[in-house]
């Protein structure tokens, strides 16, 4: 045990004396959370829109009033016909155009059904999606109000030429994603680099000749990163609570346990990477290309899995981050307990065991 | 163990697929001697040594190191040997003292032992002034000496040196061999691989490996007589040319 503590102490010297790794460890989480929280926000404010109202009746006027009264939109101009839609978009003055069909009120009263078309400027897809979300929400509200005193409900149908995307609502959604990426980055990349560094320096050989068992060497390398990752997770949760006022709905204890589980999954991936790469560069490239990219792209963090092509959806199943993001969203946003996330938890445990088993096998082959 | 041999090797073989890196070598090393393990690059020296220090499993053959079997008791061997690799393998971002403390620690030395050893070692090497310096800033020669001393921290019975003088200048090499002599004089067995033939002259006995086999094994003097050569280099050239 004393040998072990000496080993871990040494590991901390490495980390704290290397400015680059210190930056990745502690600068990155804060920077990323801030970046995603403030700069890349999906919330919209005072977005300029145009209205094309073919009916010009009381109902359409009421809807327009509602929309311009909200802080999200300001009605910039009214246009007269379809052909102007193109031109207002081209001028870049508005982000969206709302089109009310002919005889909106009449249809709503007679047929209980009227249509609104939302056309958004999709050059900025995130904003476009958010705009359509918000407009829809306003229309839904209005519809509810209308239906309060009516027997046969009125229906306002919205047509959007963009896919409705319920996942991207606000900064809250980024916190689980960023947390996943940071934990993955710190745990997998940093450990794989630090283990391959020992190989490159030749010190790994010395360690293997020493009475330390290979498993002790690996655990010794990994423990400091578990510790640092846990600190990172705590920092991220604190930032999201106090800076972004995002409360954690579920149990903090469960959140902690699940985070440690994911940290261990990532560490086992890091160990696996270190067994197949001979140099730090290789380890870093494999971590970045093989882990970070799929984690960012396929985990459902930025792009919703449901809207991916089928092959990618299938691939996303083997990305540990996908399951961890579901767990995090469940605990942080919905406040669910283990009962609702046991499946994802089991998948992560299974993956971890698989990676560890594979690493042990690879490690033995290498020693031969 | 009644025998005076600290290393005993019989028909030790290591094959990687079709390629036999070490082909049925047999030799023994006596307690307290400086045993030179010579051969060109790729002759199989390092592979053979890795089997003796317990990080590579032999394909066949027998070997005992410090009285322990390499198959059954590699952990016991590890406690009784020291090892210095050609890369010197110290941590550049740790100070001299931290390196010593770390390596002492993984060999299970107590804090008191480490402290005593550190002081003794620094004095011998004349490194007291730079004890707080990062190893990365030291010249190669000092790293080499420090690396050797670190391999001796736990007072092993045998110390394995893998090309310990690679890349250092002749004067430093000479000084290093003086350290080796001193260590052997204190009773530690030295097992050293090298491809510098002049260094072979410093050894008590040498073996010369060619293509995975030991082609010659004796004292430098007798080998020179046997091959009618003036220097070990000539012996080696004659052997290598077949």
Helices A252-276 and A191-201: crossing angle in degrees, nearest 10, is: 30
Sheet containing B60-65, strands listed edge to edge, beginning at the edge strand earlier in sequence: B19-30, B5-16, B60-65, B68-69
When the pLDDT of each residue in chain B is averaged and rounded to a whole number, the result is 89
The DSSP secondary structure of A109-155, one letter per residue, reads HHTSEEEEEEEE-TTSHHHHHHHHHHHHHHHHHHHHHHHTT-SSPPE
Chain B contacts of A205, Cβ < 8 Å? 55, 83, 85, 89
Q: Which of B89, B95, B162 to mutate to test the interface with A (most CBs of A within 10 A)?
A: B89
Residue A167's pLDDT is: 40
Residue B180's pLDDT is: 93
- Looking at B43-132, list the stretches that DSSP marks H as alpha helix, in order from N- to C-terminal side: 45-52, 74-80, 96-106, 111-125
Q: Which two tokens stand for residue B145?
A: 């000496």
pLDDT above 90 covers a percentage of chain B that reads: 48
Q: Do B107 and A18 count as a contact with CB atoms less than 8 A apart?
A: no
Q: Do A367 and B55 count as a contact with CB atoms less than 8 A apart?
A: yes
Nearest CA in chain B to A18: B93
For residues B128-140, give the mean pLDDT: 87
Chain B contacts of A17, Cβ < 8 Å? 93
Measure B210 CA to nearest chain A CA, in Å: 22
Nearest CA in chain A to B91: A203
Measure B234 CA to nearest chain A CA, in Å: 33
Q: Which of A201, A209, A219 to mutate to test the interface with B (most CBs of B within 10 A)?
A: A209
Q: Do B93 and A14 count as a contact with CB atoms less than 8 A apart?
A: yes
When the pLDDT of each residue in chain A is averaged and rounded to a whole number, the result is 82
Q: Scan residues 188-207 of A and list those with Cβ closer than 8 Å to B.
A: 201-203, 205-207
CATH class of A47-160: alpha beta
Q: What angle do CA A176, A218, B158 make, to 5 degrees?
A: 165
Residue A39's pLDDT is: 64
ipTM of model: 0.86
Measure B73 CA to nearest chain A CA, in Å: 12
Instruction: Tell me if A85 sits within 8 A of A73, measured CB to CB.
Output: no
Under DSSP, the state recorded for A189 is: I
Would you list which residues of chain B are within 8 Å, Cβ to Cβ, of chain A? 53-57, 75, 78-79, 81, 83, 85-94, 98, 101-103, 105-108
CA gap B99, B94 in Å, rounded: 6
Per-residue model confidence as pLDDT tens for chain A (368 residues): 777 888 888 888 888 888 887 887 888 888 877 777 676 555 677 788 888 888 888 888 888 888 888 888 888 888 888 888 877 877 767 888 888 888 888 888 888 888 888 888 766 666 777 888 888 888 888 888 877 776 667 777 777 654 333 344 445 667 788 888 888 888 898 889 999 998 888 888 888 888 888 888 888 889 999 998 999 899 888 888 887 777 788 899 999 999 999 999 999 999 999 988 888 899 989 988 888 888 888 888 777 777 778 888 898 899 999 999 989 888 887 788 888 889 999 999 999 999 998 888 877 655 54
Chain A contacts of B79, Cβ < 8 Å? 211
Q: Does A17 touch chain B (CB under 8 A)?
A: yes
Instruction: Tell me if B89 sits within 8 A of B99, measured CB to CB.
Output: no
Span A144-194, pLDDT tens digits? 887 777 666 777 777 765 433 334 444 566 778 888 888 888 889 888 999
Residue B127's pLDDT is: 79
Q: What angle do CA A49, A53, A56 make, to 5 degrees?
A: 130
Chain B contacts of A14, Cβ < 8 Å? 91, 93-94
How many A×B Cβ pairs under 8 Å? 72
Residue B189's pLDDT is: 95
Q: Which domains does chain B have, with CATH numbers?
A: 32-59+73-240 (3.40.50.300)
Domain ranges of chain A: 2-39+170-367, 47-160
Nearest Cα neighbor of A89 from A133, A65, A124 is: A124
Under DSSP, the state recorded for A101 is: P
Q: Do A201 and B92 count as a contact with CB atoms less than 8 A apart?
A: yes
Residue B204's pLDDT is: 94
Choose the closest CB to A210 out of B57, B78, B87.
B78
Span B20-60, pLDDT tens digits? 999 999 999 999 999 999 988 888 888 999 999 988 889 99
Chain A contacts of B105, Cβ < 8 Å? 2-3, 6-7
Q: Do B91 and A14 count as a contact with CB atoms less than 8 A apart?
A: yes
Chain B contacts of A210, Cβ < 8 Å? 78, 103, 106-107
């Amino acid at each position: 045990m004393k040998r072990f503590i000496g080993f871990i102490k040494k590991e901390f010297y490495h980390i704290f004396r290397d400015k680059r790794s210190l930056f990745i460890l502690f600068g990155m989480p804060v920077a990323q959370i801030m970046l995603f929280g403030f700069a890349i926000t999906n919330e919209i404010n005072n977005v300029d829109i145009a209205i094309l109202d073919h009916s010009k009746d009381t109902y359409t006027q009421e809807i327009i009033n509602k929309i311009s009264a909200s802080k999200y939109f300001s009605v910039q101009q009214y246009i007269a016909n379809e052909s102007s839609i193109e031109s207002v978009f081209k001028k870049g003055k508005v982000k969206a155009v709302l089109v009310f069909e002919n005889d909106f009120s009449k249809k709503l009263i007679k047929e209980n059904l009227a249509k609104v078309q939302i056309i958004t400027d999709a050059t900025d897809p995130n904003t476009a999606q958010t705009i359509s979300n918000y407009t829809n929400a306003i229309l839904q509200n209005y519809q509810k109000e209308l239906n309060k005193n009516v027997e046969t409900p009125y229906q306002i149908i919205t047509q959007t030429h963009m896919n409705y995307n319920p996942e991207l609502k606000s900064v809250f959604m980024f916190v689980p994603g960023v947390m996943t990426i940071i934990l993955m980055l710190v745990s997998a990349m940093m450990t794989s680099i630090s283990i391959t560094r020992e190989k490159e320096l030749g010190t790994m050989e010395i360690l293997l000749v020493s009475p330390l068992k290979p498993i002790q060497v690996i655990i010794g390398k990994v423990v400091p990163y578990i510790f640092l990752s846990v600190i990172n997770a705590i920092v991220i949760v604190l930032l999201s609570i106090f800076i972004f006022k995002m409360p954690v709905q579920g149990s903090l204890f469960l959140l902690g346990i699940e985070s440690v589980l994911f940290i261990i999954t990532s560490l086992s991936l890091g160990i696996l990477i270190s067994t197949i790469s001979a140099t730090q560069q290789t380890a870093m490239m494999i971590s970045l290309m093989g882990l970070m990219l799929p984690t960012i792209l396929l985990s459902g963090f930025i792009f919703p899995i449901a809207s991916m092509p089928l092959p990618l959806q299938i691939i996303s199943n083997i990305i540990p981050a996908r399951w961890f993001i579901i767990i995090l969203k469940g605990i942080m946003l919905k406040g669910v307990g283990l009962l609702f996330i046991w499946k994802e938890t089991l998948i992560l445990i299974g993956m971890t065991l698989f990676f560890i088993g594979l690493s042990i096998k690879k490690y033995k082959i290498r020693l031969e | 163990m009644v025998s005076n041999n600290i290393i005993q090797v019989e028909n030790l073989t290591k094959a990687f697929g079709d390629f036999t890196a070490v082909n049925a070598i047999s030799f023994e090393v006596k307690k307290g001697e400086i045993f030179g393990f010579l051969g060109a690059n790729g002759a199989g020296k390092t592979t053979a040594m890795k089997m003796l220090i317990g990080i590579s499993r032999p394909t066949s053959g027998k070997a005992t190191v410090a009285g322990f079997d390499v198959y059954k008791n590699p952990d016991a061997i590890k406690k009784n040997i020291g090892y210095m690799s050609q890369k010197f393998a110290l941590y550049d971002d740790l100070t001299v003292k931290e390196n010593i403390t770390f390596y002492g620690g993984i060999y299970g030395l107590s804090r008191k032992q480490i402290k005593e050893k550190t002081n003794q070692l620094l004095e011998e090497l004349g490194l007291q002034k730079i004890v707080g310096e990062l190893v990365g800033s030291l010249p190669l020669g000092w790293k080499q000496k420090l690396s050797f001393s670190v391999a001796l921290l736990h007072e092993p019975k045998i110390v394995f040196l893998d090309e310990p003088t690679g890349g250092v200048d002749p004067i430093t090499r000479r000084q290093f061999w003086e350290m080796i002599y001193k260590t052997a004089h204190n009773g530690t067995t030295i097992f050293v691989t090298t491809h510098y033939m002049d260094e072979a002259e410093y050894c008590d006995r040498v073996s010369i490996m060619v293509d995975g086999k030991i082609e010659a094994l004796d004292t430098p003097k007798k080998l020179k007589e046997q091959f009618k050569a003036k220097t070990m280099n000539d012996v080696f050239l004659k052997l290598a040319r077949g």
